[in-house]
Amino acid sequence: MHLLLLRHGQTDDNARGVLQGQSPTELNELGHRQARSLADRLTTFVPRVEALVTSDLTRAVQTAAAIERALGLTARRVEAWRERGFGPYEGRAVGEAETWRLATGNWDLPGAEPTSVFRARVLGAFDEVVAGHASMTCVGVVTHGAVIRTVLTLIGEGVIASATGQPAPESVPIANCSILWLQRDGTGARRVWRVACVNDVAHLETLAASAPPAGQ
């Protein structure tokens, strides 16, 4: 199996460095262009995407819509692929949350979705999409930056089994409309994941401001 984790396109809050969390923000003009470029890229991707899943948040649904049109697929909306909830910090500058992290050593902001709960949710979503599409070769999931970074962290920690000898992937900032390409090898209990690429944005090279933004 090949699993493509696709971050949504840019929003105005991304551009301003605002923490969005589960707010119903929409793509801005650049975000729509990024989504169309990602969709065009996927029309030539090998192996071809056979099924599409998306977070139910607006910015992800809008990104998935471009892919649906390009590939002739209907995306299944799954709440578990949502961004982490940041409670009262949503709509505030990322720098405020970073100040808390530096002071406390963690991202458990007051009123936010606890790290342990968020990790369990992401792992459950990952396991569900793999089990639910076991007969397929390639599945795409439109989701969010913190979700994708958490998947990388879970692989690095061995919670999601990774190939022997593969260096632990870094939990890096995730670019809008980038591709995280995971490949599953082996059989039975020995099935493991390889990270083929992180932050693949070759399809965005002609677009401005495609670097990883500060916001979630």
**Domain holding 192: CATH number?**
3.40.50.1240
How high is the pLDDT of residue 210?
A: 45
How many independent structural domains does the chain possess?
Answer: 1
pLDDT tens for the 216 residues of the chain, in order: 999 999 999 999 999 999 999 999 999 999 999 999 999 999 999 999 999 999 999 999 999 999 999 999 999 999 999 999 999 989 988 887 777 766 667 778 888 999 999 999 999 999 999 999 999 999 999 999 999 999 999 999 999 999 888 887 887 899 999 999 999 987 666 789 999 999 999 999 988 544 444 445
Asked if residue 14 belongs to a domain, the reply is: yes
- Domain containing 89 equals 2-204
Q: Tell me the whole-structure pTM to 2 decimals.
A: 0.92
Asked if residue 214 belongs to a domain, the reply is: no
How high is the pLDDT of residue 104?
A: 66
Phi/psi of residue 118, nearest 5 degrees: -65, -45
- Residue written as tokens 């984790």? 5
3-state secondary structure 82-141: CCCCCHHHCCCEHHHHHHHHHHHCCCCCCCCCCHHHHHHHHHHHHHHHHHHCCCCCEEEE
Asked if residue 211 belongs to a domain, the reply is: no
Asked if residue 140 belongs to a domain, the reply is: yes
Asked if residue 215 belongs to a domain, the reply is: no
Asked if residue 212 belongs to a domain, the reply is: no
Asked if residue 131 belongs to a domain, the reply is: yes
Asked if residue 100 belongs to a domain, the reply is: yes
